[in-house]
Copies of this chain bind each other. A is one copy, B any other.
Amino acid sequence: MSEYKKSERIAAIVKILTDNPNRLFHLSYFMDMLSSAKSTISEDIDTIDHMLMEMGMGRVVTEAGAAGGVFYLPAGSKQKYREFIDDLCIDLSNVERIIPGGFLYTADLLYSPGTCSMIGEILASCFAGGKPDYVVTVETKGIPPAFMTARALGVPIVICKHDSRVTEGPSVSINYISGSTKNIRTMSLSKRSMKSDSKVIIIDDFMKGGGTARGIINLMKEFNAKVLGIGVVVATKQPEIKLVDDYFSLIDLVDIDEVRDTVRLEVGNWDKL
Please give the residue numbers on chain A whose beta carbons come within 8 Å of chain B beta carbons, in ascending order.
Answer: 4-8, 10-12, 14-16, 18-20, 23, 33, 44, 47-48, 50-52, 55, 57, 99-101, 103, 105, 107-108, 111-114, 116-117, 139-141, 143-144, 147, 150-151, 154-159, 161, 166-169, 190, 192-193, 206
CA distance in complex: A98, B6 (Å): 48
Q: Are A8 and B47 in contact (CB under 8 A)?
A: yes
Partner of A51, one of B8, B50, B105, B113: B8
Query: Quick check: B156 and A108 within 8 Å, CB to CB?
Result: yes
What residues of B have a CB within 8 angstroms of the CB of A167 in the complex? Answer: 99, 101, 103, 206
Q: A44 CA to B161 CA in the complex, in Å?
A: 47
CB-CB under 8 A from A14, the residues of chain B are 10-11, 14-15, 18
Across the interface, which residues of B come within 8 angstroms of A55, CB to CB? 12, 15, 33
* In contact, B113 and A168 (Cβ under 8 angstroms): no
Give chain B residues whose Cβ lies under 8 Å from the Cβ of A150: 111, 113
Measured between beta carbons, the chain B residues less than 8 angstroms from A156 are: 108, 111-113
Q: How far is the CA of A4 from the CA of B48 in the complex (A)?
A: 12
Asked if A114 and B144 sit within 8 Å, CB to CB, the answer is: no
